[in-house]
Amino acid sequence: MAGFEAQIEKTSREIAEAQSKISAVTSRIEAARDQAVPGLDIENATLADVQAHSDAMNANIAELIMGLDDVTAGFSKDFEELRSKTGWESFVGVFAKGKSESMRAERLRAASIDTKLQDLIAKSDSIVTLLNGQLAVLNEQKAKVEANLGATLSDREAVVASLEGTRAEIVAMDPKIIELENKIAVEQDAAARTRLETELADLNMRYNALVQDEQVQLAKSQTLERYIEQGKTWVDSLTNQAATQLVLINKLSTDTQQRVVLYDALTKSLKTAQQQDIAHRINEIGVKTDQEAQTAMAGIGAATNAKMAEMLEAHGDQMVFARNVLEQKAKADERFARRFAAIVEKHDKNLYGG
């Protein structure tokens, strides 16, 4: 399991780096809106870099999940070996059946399936914890950007309204300027002409100021529009990343639950086999003992039968629960395979190193 430990550590570093990159982009978007001046921009290369790193991180996590599936599949072989005798135990049984049984019983007691499975479940849970942490960061940053985006939309709405007002005022000034120019052209009195020219100069000054203000407002509107598009792109990216995290979390969570069911079912199977072996040995001894021992054996047999009946009655509920878990796992596997089709294909066909 050392390889899993190394991969988990690598994934932890990748997630930490991804969180740093995500926070940096969000901060730059917030700073851009606060300053709202031309030239301050979020490069597409920055967004692409974050997305590329997130894709690589999720690919590594998917590989890790596939590895956990492989290890889980190997447990069935371990349990099968516990159910049956080893070659040496069978050989010893030819000459000493009791010794053979004691050897198998000792091997069962010393078996470390519980430790191995619990270790696997712990590793699954540790990955889920990492993914939940990353999901929390994604949702936190998404909330920040959405709030920023809402404020930026409101700012641009106000700027556009002001721009439209400025343009309307400019349009309204045109007839006035033309009217003054016509009056000046026909005015013969020098004093009156001077007053008209002064009025026209003031009007032209106001007109030029409005045109300049229109240009400033237009530039600000365009800047805010660019930030709005970048905010939308970033929100979309964060949403997609969060969706991927949910697929991975769902896959790992259902796998962990399925592993618990597997462990419980197989452990009970082994215990049942041990109980049956003990019952058979008691029966063999009982045949050779006196009536008193037979009476005791009957009591043990009755208790064993009662226990077996309880197990059989509980089996139905266990099967319903197990089927529900398997159905959930199948759905989680299907979503995982659909989202990570290339990784699954590489894993299934052993296309590594290509």
| pLDDT in the model for residue 350 | 66
pTM above 0.85, yes or no: no
- Under 8 Å CB-to-CB from 239, ≥6 apart: which residues? 142
- Under 8 Å CB-to-CB from 344, ≥6 apart: which residues? 62, 66, 336, 337
Give whole-number Cα distances, 123 to 72, 73, 196, 266, 315, in Å: 12, 16, 87, 21, 29
| pLDDT in the model for residue 213 | 92
Contact 58, 244 (CB under 8 A): yes
Is residue 294 over pLDDT 60?
Answer: no
Residues 45-70: tens digit of each pLDDT = 577 778 788 888 888 888 777 777 77
- Under 8 Å CB-to-CB from 268, ≥6 apart: which residues? 311
| pLDDT in the model for residue 282 | 44
Is residue 225 over pLDDT 90?
Answer: no
> How much is the average pLDDT of 264-289?
53
Contact 61, 11 (CB under 8 A): yes
Is residue 300 over pLDDT 50?
Answer: no
- Under 8 Å CB-to-CB from 197, ≥6 apart: which residues? 184
Is residue 98 over pLDDT 90?
Answer: no
Alpha-carbon distance of 65 to 74, in angstroms, equals: 14
Q: Please state, rounded to an integer, the average pLDDT across all residues of the chain.
A: 74
Contact 227, 33 (CB under 8 A): yes
Q: Can you spell out the DSSP letters for 138-182?
A: HHHHHHHHHHHHHHHHHHHHHHHHHHHHHHHHHHHHHHHHHHHHH
Q: How far is CA 150 from the centre of its chain?
A: 26
